[in-house]
Structure 1
């Protein structure tokens, strides 16, 4: 049995008296050290100390803390790393778990949490996706060097530092594109990074010949295109932030890739003809990847300009990445559910923005906020909470409040509460919500912050005990490493795909919520009061932000594997996606494990996608067979394939596609009890390999695979298998899911595919 040294034992006995901690064992002293931020109640500081700094130093220098560090002599002189005076009442320090537990017994202790890494980004999403400059896919791909990404969007703000070309080699000779001049845009604004910029608005002008286009050039005046392109392939930019939020170094997913901009979306309107023209030109110019953060809802393939143009791109070996849409959380709402493109949904990241709320009794809390008035922090302002005003839904009730911060109780219409306070001339607001969602982007025009019901308990306790409650709010806070993350964004559109429900969509999710990227300097990011505020970088959310993350990863994969087809690249992304968050639990969607109809195969994992082991490949002929099975007319088929000679043999074609995921429909009496899928996988690993099947079953169904073992003699060998889903009993759930994983015998690769069975009655749009 281990025993403590005599001196340490004596110190711990003293600690029992001072801290009432009497059951400390030798094992508890062997805990790992970590850096913590400690919040303290300064109103409980003993009167013997002249100030809080002396108090904190004294606490950490006490014999009890030295004893708790007995296993590490370097901890014997423990002192604060920082002492906070304004933003936080407390300090930061490196503590063992034993020391932290001692500190928690102090009457003045308020809270503690691990010191979270200062945000650096698209300033942070590349880190969240485990991209490292010294290993993995960034190093292997040389950061995507010389891969060309074509962005179909609102244009570009060329002066942004995200398009700097310092250190980049000459433009690839295969590039055929150009830089078009126009209003506010010169061809000389392109460089070795921004190698092309064109604009398309003939369709828009045709709709209104008398229309005057304010910025008739590739220049972006809305911000969307600048944001998406810098997310996909922005260069290294130090000192990026949104009014202090998300401060750090920004860079895109493929920071050495080239960018070609095709402006087809306009302030004055956007039409399919211009979008198709833009993609058409991109194909001609020689791009490797097309990124489209837009789409058309509830249209069949043969009427979908993105699907049609993307088919041509696919034929040329160009990878097309597209956004799923922002119509969630209802099912069957996504667009771009096209079998030959990657469909990307949106997820959250492990970062929160907010304000430090300090109550008059010294307790501090972190509330969600993105209010940019960093010079307008509130200091010891009266805090108002009353029966008359707590609903925060009446300007009449609030008009005479004046310079006070109003506390608003939970209301499902939080945005209306914020608007009411904004026009009531109060000093600020604190809004209590009953939600686990990050609502920081809701607060951007008004000095306020959002708190959870759990965190609000401290405020209500303080108000009950104080005759004159006051509060201070300091804006501009950023915290990383928050858990759980990722989760599925509520707004991201869900499958099944209305156009081709037999192909599981979305394919995967990528960071889309509260993403920092470059912005246009002529377009105000936010208006506070009557003042428009401008910034080089903006934080926005949507599947528009998720799509370019995947586009950049596709560029990295294209660099590492230039011979891979678009389907092989997509398969690599899908079968290596992660289904776990940073707590090692299943990724959540509204508090429940996410369905593949919300997240596809899971969160994109760039490093694992580089070496997937097996891929599900497909080419033009495979997609033509799928189109033929949709009961389209010959003209409708030809609209997509552009070839009339292929439409005579559509009868009895199996609509199954060699896709890296599975979805089966069991709706009504007409649907069979058994659904069978035939698949072929290609070994892209080095040398021979053996894989065995592992199935995660689904309630009410039996999933089997034959054969259960696949043997490959060498690289590029192919093997086929059959997966069968049999309905065995009735189920209450409309959607159930499982998975098929092919696990290499050496343990180097796990090739995972989601499997879905559903009672949803989904038929392809015609």
Structure 2
């Protein structure tokens, strides 16, 4: 055997070096490392020097592994580390946490990104993503096989949990796991009302409607890669509190339009007994019910006494004033808003010009180089137009007046495809689009029509399944969300706040209709886009779960206060949030409450408005209810009516007037608790509603220590206008030499049948 030459040896050394280098690269991964900067020794001039020294002590000095230093939005660094090096780093003084770097992908609902929830800083890491919190969902059941209820990464079921996984028709108790830790169904009420029913799937917690699966996965679904709605909003799905446990209480079945109070009460009662921390209820009455006859009000009072946070939707009967039906003082009432995301199709003309329009056609249809047809005389999408009698296969251009007429137009169309021209802003909330077409605005239509008229052989192509982020303005108040004043008790401003509710993507039963193509092709999907305050409610419930995880000592009222006083009244253009139901006018708190929920700011609200159970009883005592009616709600004779008061310590203010009112003066007293560390001084800044004068005394409040309480009075004087329009403003307590702003909305509203 011949000896290797020098060239061979050099080549072998190069190969071995490359292999060693490749092995080192494989052994190391990029990690984001969070550090407590208070641990930095004074000997180091900067954090960069400190982090370099830390890495030198835990990794080979020859390894250039420091990638980024973070010192503004977060404190720490990113570096290439092996598992052994990371374990060594964990023992270093000042180490907080670390996690592997990941490829950034679009979230399916996109609401987490829109609400600024992120793994680097804020409420997600502070609460460990909702770990150790149990969310009970009162709804239509659950589809347990959905990937959103996988238990990867979940901790063991807590010993304090008293629930169970109830089996039934097509639902084996083994389907529960460390994510879906409890399932029960309650149907004795519906069975009693329908004794001769033979409907299947009623003796089970399995979701045959889809609603419960959607809401429960929104509040606390686990991570699911590759989720989408027929190619729209594709990415990784997750709930607002992805590490929280889920328990489903099925109190309603899809087989009946009515759901029964007895089932609701039993489900909510059992949820409290089982030990849930947060209760999410995306249901309610669409008519006025007195508090003492409202199952939500009754059961949620008991839940509140036990420290359970209850979140409900405002309803979908907007935009009329007084349409809100979950105006319960001791729960969170959530309105619905849009997301900064839209779904689109791109139109490419034969001359190369590309225009983006709106579509949700659920397929990657082939609409390529088809003739573009425009006839000015027949350009309106009516029964005699081009859609009904196209001269040949092609893409028709025609007008529609409103988005409501789109369904009828799609049904009648015999054209291969169409470009609809429409400027209706309600298009942003439209979903069912089973026709291979696209909607564009009148401005873009000018270019398309000009090309179609001047070109000898105009052609166009349409590409579907596009998702666009950064839509402005957003959020806007959804047109359908119900508005206050709450007729069950108008003296408390409702809704409390709003959360994303329009076109939210979440889990869906695969045997339920998701959408369709044409008039006879039904389509299923594991994930579906849905709109309503039913979708907004679980977003807020998820935020409450995160806050419960970060602040387990806070009462339900404290959590609600933190969410309200930090809610954002501005959109992503930094202007006041607008109302889609009122031609994009500035939204009043009767539509949006305090504003859009802001999870990260709610983590550290500065001040909170706390409320005890007896404070709610004092409110009930001021409502001229009988002892029996009050006892129905409180379920206890331990409460007395010695101090009735309609002035609840709530983080918002509302003054009501009737048609006979000319001038009104109202004084409120509030008590705030300092939840910040150390001494704090806050100064009042007031924006008074039009035709109002507001006085706040004292104008400054001083806190010496944490959990100290201070009180103030707010007096509003209002001279009624002839037209009876809702007016609104705000009170903001601004921390001097600090970062906290504690905002409360102020509303002056009519409350007469002839004024609403």
Q: What is the TM-score when the length of structure 1 is the normalising length?
A: 0.81
Q: Alpha-carbon deviation of 1:713? A: 1.2
Q: Aligned with 1:673: secondary structure?
A: strand
2: CA distance, partners of 1:729 / 1:262: 47
The answer to whether the Cα contact below 8 Å between 1:515 and 1:541 also exists between their aligned partners in 2 is: yes
User: Which residue, 169, 174, 178 being the options, matches 2:155?
Assistant: 169
What secondary structure is seen at the aligned counterpart in 2 of 1:430? strand
CA distance in 2, matches of 1:703, 1:341: 28
Distance of aligned partners of 1:669 and 1:395 in 2 relative to their CA distance in 1, 3 Å threshold: closer
2:516 maps to which of 527, 530, 539: 527
Report the secondary structure of 2:270's partner residue: helix
Please report how far the alpha carbon of residue 191 of structure 1 lies from its aligned counterpart in structure 2 after TM superposition: 0.6
Task: Flag structure 2 segments of 5+ consecutive residues without an equivalent.
Answer: 1-102
C-alpha distance in structure 2 between counterparts of 1:443 and 1:526, whole Å: 7
> Cα 1:760–1:456, aligned 2, differ >3 Å: closer, same or farther?
farther
1:621 is matched with which residue: 614, 624, 629?
614
Please name the residue that 1:107 is paired with.
Answer: none
Mapped to 1, the partners of 2:309 and 2:250 lie a distance apart of: 19
Q: Does 1:536 align with 2:526?
A: yes
Deviation at 1:644, TM superposition (A): 4.8
Match for residue 549 of structure 1? 539
Partner of 2:419: 430
2:437 is matched with which residue? 448
On the 8 A contact 2:108/2:233 being kept in 1, the answer is no
Q: For the residues of structure 2 that align with 1:648 and 1:702, how far apart are their CA atoms?
A: 33
Partners of 1:752 and 1:634 lie apart in 2 by 36
Q: What's 2:253 paired with? A: 266
Instruction: Please say if residues 617 and 641 of structure 2, whose CA atoms lie closer than 8 Å, have aligned partners that are also in contact.
Output: no
Given candidates 586, 594, 599, the residue that maps to 2:592 is 599
Mapped partners of 2:537, 2:410: distance in 1: 36
Quick check: 1:342–1:570 contact (8 Å CA) kept in 2? yes
CA deviation vs aligned residue, 1:717-762 (integer Å, no higher than 9, x gap): 1011000101257464511111001111122210000011123337
- 2:712 counterpart of 1:721: yes
> Match of 2:182?
196
Q: Contact between 2:614 and 2:639, CA under 8 Å: does it hold in 1? A: no
Preserved contact between residue 431 and residue 449 of structure 1 (Cα < 8 Å): yes
Partner of 1:680: 671
Name the count of aligned residue pairs: 644
Tell me which residue corresponds to 2:122: 136
* Matching residue of 2:743: 752
The residue correspondences of 1:21-420 to structure 2 (distance < 5 A) are: 120-215=106-201, 216-269=203-256, 270-297=259-286, 298-374=288-364, 376-387=365-376, 389-394=378-383, 398-401=387-390, 402-412=392-402, 414-420=403-409
CA distance in structure 2 between the partners assigned to 1:284 and 1:439 by the alignment: 42
Name the CA distance, whole Å, in 1 between partners of 2:561 and 2:573.
Answer: 26
User: How far has the Cα of 1:672 moved from its partner?
Assistant: 5.3
Match runs of 1:609-688 below 5 Å: 609-644=602-637, 646=639, 649=642, 653-669=644-660, 673-688=664-679
Moved more, 361-370 or 178-187: 361-370
Shift of residue 461, structure 1, vs aligned partner? 1.7
CA distance in 2, matches of 1:641, 1:190: 34
1:307 positional shift: 1.2
What's 2:63 paired with?
Answer: none
Q: Report if the CA contact (8 A) 2:492-2:653 is conserved.
A: yes
Q: 1:684 offset after TM fit, Å?
A: 0.9
d(CA) in 2 for partners of 1:442, 1:168 = 34
Which residue does the alignment assign to 1:708?
A: 699
> Once the two structures are superposed, what CA deviation does each residue of 1:682-714 show, in whole Å capped at 9, x if it has no partner?
111112211111111221110110000111111
Q: Secondary structure at the match of 2:158?
A: coil
Cα deviation code 1:187-224 (max 9, x no counterpart): 11111110001111110001111112321211112211
Classify the secondary structure of the residue corresponding to 1:676. strand
Q: 1:508 aligns with which of 484, 487, 497?
A: 497
Q: Give the whole-Å Cα distance in 1 for the aligned partners of 2:533 and 2:322.
A: 16
SS at match of 1:416: helix
Tell me, in whole angstroms, the C-alpha distance in 2 between the residues paired with 1:359 and 1:286.
60
Please provide the CA RMSD for this pair.
Answer: 2.0
